[in-house]
Structure 1
Amino acid sequence: MSRTHPLAFFLVACLSTPTWAFTQCPTYFAAGVAPTITNTKLKQRTQEVCFEAYAVLHSGISRTPLYSAEHLTRDKLEAAKTLSRKDSFHPEATLPARDRAELSDYSRSGYDRGHMAPNADFATRSAQAESFSLANMVPQVHANNAGIWAGIEGAARQLAINEGEVYVVSGSAFIGSDIQRVDNVLVPTHIWKVLY
């Protein structure tokens, strides 16, 4: 798909002017390139993690993904509809212990473990299990996670079904000086999703 859908602009809640960089996981990005983080503080201790069906740029500072990226296709989404959800939240063992979130960070926090690349997008059990990596989670207020964010995720899937394919990048932003924490994890002030 070579055009940008107008819905992409509607779904962007907060996104700085990106620069572009090559990625270790080119399958999940149009033209094989990914956005580069321009915030020098968050850029420190980042690590790209390539999964079976998505990629994450993870921040050791926030202990969250700065973004997750996927290439959705009609066929994969139709296959995903046949699988039921099986929660299996887990810390990401490929990340250094000092940089990753732990289950205890979210315990009794009042926040959901909110997917950036949602479980319902994935067509295999193994890809669905990987979607529960805490490297793919940000703290989200339940009403947002189960409400508008779930609606945006569903709209992205429907667009991919209608168009045949779509690239999706979802991310978190930390804007201002009053950033909240949930134990060791920073709470984003904004989350965003771009489709192309």
Structure 2
Amino acid sequence: MLWLLLLQVWVSCLWLGHGEVVNSFASCPQFFYSNTPPDAAIKPQNPAWICQTLKGERFFATLYDKDRRIPMYSAYKYEPARFSTNHTWTVEPQLIRSNLPKEMQTVQTLERQYNISKAEIMQSQAVNADYEKSGWDRGHLNPNGHHDTPDSRNVTYTLTNIVPMNATLNRKAWRNYEQQTMANKSKDCQTTYVIVGAVPGNSSLPNGRVNVPSHIWSGACCKTKNNTMSAWAAIARNDQNQVDELTLGQLEKRLAKLYGMKKVPLFHSSCP
């Protein structure tokens, strides 16, 4: 019986070690070019490193700000396709307690199956009620259209991947960048690594719980079919319907000013 008990303890530890909310992105480095996450300059005071998981599979990585209740950035591989899926908005159980399931769940599931109150859920993250009637879109950092399977698309509908975004920007200029510019820029790429982030702003949604970013930004790095490296970037103010296309270096300089840092490197130094 002793060996059986030890086996149960070992399995339990193994399961906990593969939780979605982790201590660093060393648990899911594959979503960053050369396994290198952005510089610590972007790290908020109360961070959560999330390996976004659905059905036991990890699909992208998010650095989440638990105080402002928005993601600082999401990192993923660009693998676009054209089809539609049915989605459900979810939250991250392990932001509530580490012993809860590692896979994203709906608020209703956590309330009914795990006896978690909505107030407990809301302490560490945003919920749908924050966005309803707020006048702001639920803006994806990692957009569903940049993925090629139902699961990889559905997993982007976690509120830990969402920021309040100006509705016109989200539906027009930023969408055009996501759908058209990204496709054109990456047409010669073998693998494209993308990091999309938000610069925290000085205001919040009407209920005061969720920060409204001042800017949305995106950086991409790829190895081309000729085995050369290519990179590009964009940034948009969250109160205008305009996207500025930049070089990666220009974006990093802009972000350094916006974050009040000396430098903000987004990718491994071999990315131009």
> What TM-score bracket applies, with the shorter chain setting the length?
0.7 to 0.9
Query: Compared with structure 1, are the counterparts of its residues 179 and 128 closer, same or farther at alpha carbon in structure 2 (3 Å cutoff)?
Result: same
Query: Compared with structure 1, are the counterparts of its residues 179 and 23 closer, same or farther at alpha carbon in structure 2 (3 Å cutoff)?
Result: farther
| Paired residue type of 2:150 | R
In 1, Cα distance between equivalents of 2:94 and 2:145: 23
Q: Is 1:107 the equivalent of 2:110?
A: no
| Paired residue type of 1:91 | V
* SS of residue paired to 1:94: helix
In 1, Cα distance between equivalents of 2:94 and 2:184: 32
The 5 Å alignment of 1:73-92 reads 76-77=79-80, 80-81=81-82, 83-92=83-92
The 5 Å alignment of 1:51-90 reads 51=52, 52-72=58-78, 76-77=79-80, 80-81=81-82, 83-90=83-90
> 1:95 maps to what in 2?
95
CA RMSD of aligned residues (A): 2.0
In 2, Cα distance between equivalents of 1:93 and 1:188: 24
> 1:116 maps to what in 2?
141
Q: Is 1:137 the equivalent of 2:162?
A: yes
* SS of residue paired to 1:84: coil
Higher relative contact order (CA 8 A, sep 6+): 1
Deviation at 1:182, TM superposition (A): 4.2
Match of 2:188 among 162, 171, 176: 162
TM-score by length of 2: 0.56
Deviation at 1:171, TM superposition (A): 0.3
Q: Which runs of 4+ in 1 moved over 4 A?
A: none
> 2:49 maps to what in 1?
48
Gaps of at least 5 residues in structure 2 are 1-23, 53-57, 97-120, 222-272
Deviation at 1:22, TM superposition (A): 5.9
Q: Which structure has the larger Rg over C-alpha atoms?
A: 2
Query: Compared with structure 1, are the counterparts of its residues 160 and 136 closer, same or farther at alpha carbon in structure 2 (3 Å cutoff)?
Result: same
Percent identical pairs in the alignment equals 28
Deviation at 1:131, TM superposition (A): 0.4
> 2:215 maps to what in 1?
190
Query: Compared with structure 1, are the counterparts of its residues 158 and 24 closer, same or farther at alpha carbon in structure 2 (3 Å cutoff)?
Result: farther
Deviation at 1:45, TM superposition (A): 1.8
Gaps of at least 5 residues in structure 1 are 1-20
